[in-house]
Structure formats: structure tokens, C-alpha cells
Amino acid sequence: MQLSFLEDENTSSSASTWWAELLRVLKVDPGTAWPDRFGTALRQWYAQQAFPPVRTLSLFSGGGGLDIAFHDAGFDVVEMVEIDPRYIETLRKNFAAKSTVNCTDIHDFVPDDSLQVDFIIGGPPCQTFSAAGRRAAGVAGTDDPRGTLFQEYIRLLSRLQPEGFLFENVYGITGAQNGKAWQTIQAAFKAAGYNIFFRVLDAADYGVPQHRERLFIVGLKTGEFLFPYPTHGPDSPVQQAYYSAGEAVKGADITHAPQGIGGRYGHLLNDIPPGLNYSFYTKEMGHPNPVFSWRSKFSDFLYKADPERPVRTIKAQGGQYTGPFSWDNQPFTLSELKRLQTFPDSYEIIGGRQVCIEQIGNSVPPQLGRMLALSILDQVIGVQLPFQMRYLPHNKISGFRQRKRALTEIYAIKAKKAIDTLVHRNSFAHTTTPMNTSPQVSTRFLGKNFSWTNSRMPASSEFGVTFGSDDSVWSIAVNQPSYISTQPKGIACCMELLLMPLIS
């Protein structure tokens, strides 16, 4: 059933209670870890119905976030396609009994002639359009081989002709190459026979304890589509409180919690108030002994989560000082990160810590995915849901961008209070430490358009990067891999700016 709010969001008496009604119908307790119970209850309800299966193909499946969501909503994910064998282990562990899991390059994936699907889900890798990718390698957009993976998506749409699809990517895709890439993508979907409906959504608005802005595109052969109304936050009908990070991780497994972060800057984390990052140690924030220049680092550098709010976006890639860090001044455990991304506790993510973080950080949070899947069931598949869904009019403007700017002022006040307290106690952390590190080795790839990434691309050249430091200077060398161990020093001045994203 489809209802959309007009200018007055409370024109219907049921409008203000639709989220509470949804939880009531599914018998979900909204306490800690409620997204797990929501997914289980939704899956159980669908299994009791006599609806025909919605056969679905998952592309660029990654760690399986969208697949969890659509499976819970009753979609039959019959096949998955993922190129990374490390992520495949996770998919096979959790979905092998339900789906055919293909470990293959999307360019090489040719569906069996017998494959028939009603829907396609997935989004290609987003580094070429992301904020981090733009800062590290420039905006290559569709000129980067990774930026043309959507063409493989189009190829499979044209071949399989599903009723519709859900495509997810970073919102930077709309501005890459001055909008040229976005125009190309829209035209390609339309040429394949699909009308597209798109919107940037913040995951926190849908019950995820994390602010994560992503572009979602729903393509349909026929009909219209409206995106679901927020269930949480100031844009929700009754301004339902966000699901906070502190509530989300309560009771999560902390058996193997990492202790501290070490290194040159690790000790600085202790004094940073929850919600702030390295900028606490800048003169602009009023710190009497500034360590960093304003806007000299990524926003997640030494970022300490605020237990009373959703965390900032969890990144798939990062360094020693990449947050979010716990308000207990240590990295979150993998169990806690799963909670912050709304992965079920029972879902097993395979691999070492960094590989698991990659899978979590690259995924669509399942709770956001569930709300989108319900909207598709209702509007596209025609399933009669046991509750009313509420939808955003096309012209409704969300307020999360304005709230993000307001937070800057809130945290500036918080920083001042923390600094005043430290001054009163005379308990500032030492802001300088000897800077001796043993040489570290990393591999990077130089693309034909001079992009500098940690992923191999067609026609890219591999380089070994060795870097270390003493009390006064960074030493950085860039060599062919065979020379890494024999030439630990080298290019320092001329490569410093190019390599800054690797060490900051």
C-alpha cells in the first residue's frame, strides 16, 4: 500500500505512527540490536505467505549487505557475482545453501540461457567517484576503468530484462567530470529500456547507527517509484530519535578488543571529546598546543565516535589513525562494527581484521536495504504488506546536509569545554613524540591517467612504496617491487605530495 506525505506530514492520524505500527505488526522489540530482530521477523512473515518468489541476481555482491536485506524481505537471490575471492568466502559461508556464488570478473560473467530473474541488485566499486578517491587520485569518473563497470550492469540488464533494478553508489557520481559521467549513466539506463528514479539517502534516517550518504537508483520498465520516508531522525514524521552508536554496540562481543592505537599520534586520542577528530588539536578549535593544520587530514583521522549519536561513515580502507574509534579510546571490535553497519550478529564475515572491515565498509547497511526492499515489494512487485508504507514525494528535500553543517558548531562548543577542562586540570597530553618508525612497505598502482591507487587496474604499473621516519623527516622511496628491500631510501621531496594520502 502506497501513501506519500504532502506538505503537512501529519495530515493522516496514522502518518505519525507508521514506524511504530510496523514494529508492532512484526512484533519487534525496539531495544538494543533491534535490526537483527527486524530482519528475522520480516523473513519469517514472508515465509508464511504464499507469494511467488522474486528471483533476483546480485552483482558486485561484496560482503553481502544488500543480499542480507533483500533475502530478509523475501527476495530469492538466486545468483551472486563477486570478483574478490576473499569476499567470496563470506558469501559462501552465509549464502551457499540459498544462492549460486560466482567468483568471477563481471566482464567475464555470462548468465546461463536458462537464468530468468525479476530483479537485479548491486552497485559497482565506487572509488573513482568517492570523496576519498577524488582526493587520492583525482576525479577520473568514467575515464577510469572502474568507472565504466556500470556498462557491464547495462549489458546484463539488456540480456536478462528484469522488471527492475536497484543500483547503489556514492553521491559523488552525480558531480564527476562536471556531471558528464552522470549524464552518460542516466542515458545508458534509459537506452536499456528503464525509467530511473534516484535519491541520495542517509542511512541514519532509516535506523542505521551511522551517517552514510549514498545515491540509490531504482530502474523500472513501467510505473513510478517513491523512496521510503525516513523512520528515524528529524526528517521522520515524529522525529524518532536516531539509533545511537552507544545503544547499538551495547552487549556486542568485546572479547578481542584491540587496546589503543599506538604510533606517533595514538596518545592524542585520549583527550579528544567524543564526536570530534584531529581538528581538536588545531588553533581554529582553540587548542593552546596545536598539532595539526586546519583541514590537513581526512575527517576520520583520529575520529572518536559519540555514543549518543550515529557514527560517521565507516570506511573500507584506512590507516592506523582512521576512525571511528570507540569513546573508550580504542578501535571498535569487528562485532561492534557489524552492529554499527546493522549486520546481524549471526552473520559470519570471513578473513583477517582489515579484510573484514573492507567488507563491512563497502556494504550497504542491511537495515537501509530492508526498507528499500520493502518499498520495492510494495510498489513494484505488488506484494500486499501487513502495514502501510510511507513515501517521500519527488520534490521533498531531506535535511541531513543542513544538520551536518550545524554539527560543526555543536562540536566547536564541545571542544572549547574540553579544552577549558584540560587547562584547569593542567592535564594536556604531550603533543610531540619522537618520530622513529621502522620502514613499512606497501604496493600501489599508477594508472594511465596518473591515478595512484591500492587496486590493480588494466594498463596500470605496479610500484613498491617504502616509507619510514626519524625524529625530523619522512623518508619515502618508490621503486619497482624487486628493489624494495635493497633501497629503503629514495624519492622524498618530489613524491611527497603524491604519496601524502598513503601516510596521513
Contacts (Cβ under 8 Å, ≥6 apart) of 476: 465, 466, 467, 490, 491, 492, 495, 496, 499, 503
User: Which three cell numbers, joined as nine digits, stand for 13?
Assistant: 492520524
Distance (Å, whole) CA 356 – CA 310: 21
Q: What is the dihedral of CA 428, 434, 439, 442, to 10 degrees?
A: 20
Residues in the chain: 504
Q: Is 4 helix (H, G, I), strand (E, B) or coil?
A: strand
Helix axes 34-47, 366-376, angle to 10 degrees: 30
User: Which three cell numbers, joined as nine digits, stand for 243?
Assistant: 539509533
DSSP H helices, 377-491, are 400-425
Any catalytic annotation for residue 494? no
Structural contact between residues 452 and 137, judged by C-beta atoms closer than 8 angstroms = yes
Which of 85, 53, 83 shows the shortest CA–CA distance to 71? Answer: 53
Q: Is 167 helix (H, G, I), strand (E, B) or coil?
A: strand
Distance (Å, whole) CA 367 – CA 152: 27
Q: Is 387 helix (H, G, I), strand (E, B) or coil?
A: coil
Catalytic residue (one of 103, 126, 356, 494): 126
Q: What is the dihedral of CA 296, 297, 299, 300, to 10 degrees?
A: -160
Q: Which residue reads 546480485 in cell numbers?
A: 58
Distance (Å, whole) CA 272 – CA 264: 15
DSSP H helices, 258-381, are 334-340, 353-361, 366-376
Contacts (Cβ under 8 Å, ≥6 apart) of 166: 66, 119, 120, 121, 122, 216, 217, 218, 372, 376
Other CB atoms closer than 10 Å to residue 161's CB: what's the count?
13
Which of 411, 398, 247, 414 shows the shortest CA–CA distance to 336? Answer: 247
3-state secondary structure 171-205: HHHHCHHHHHHHHHHHHHHHHCCCEEEEEEEEHHH
Q: Is 75 helix (H, G, I), strand (E, B) or coil?
A: strand
User: Which three cell numbers, joined as nine digits, stand for 373?
Assistant: 526492499
Show which residues are catalytic: 126
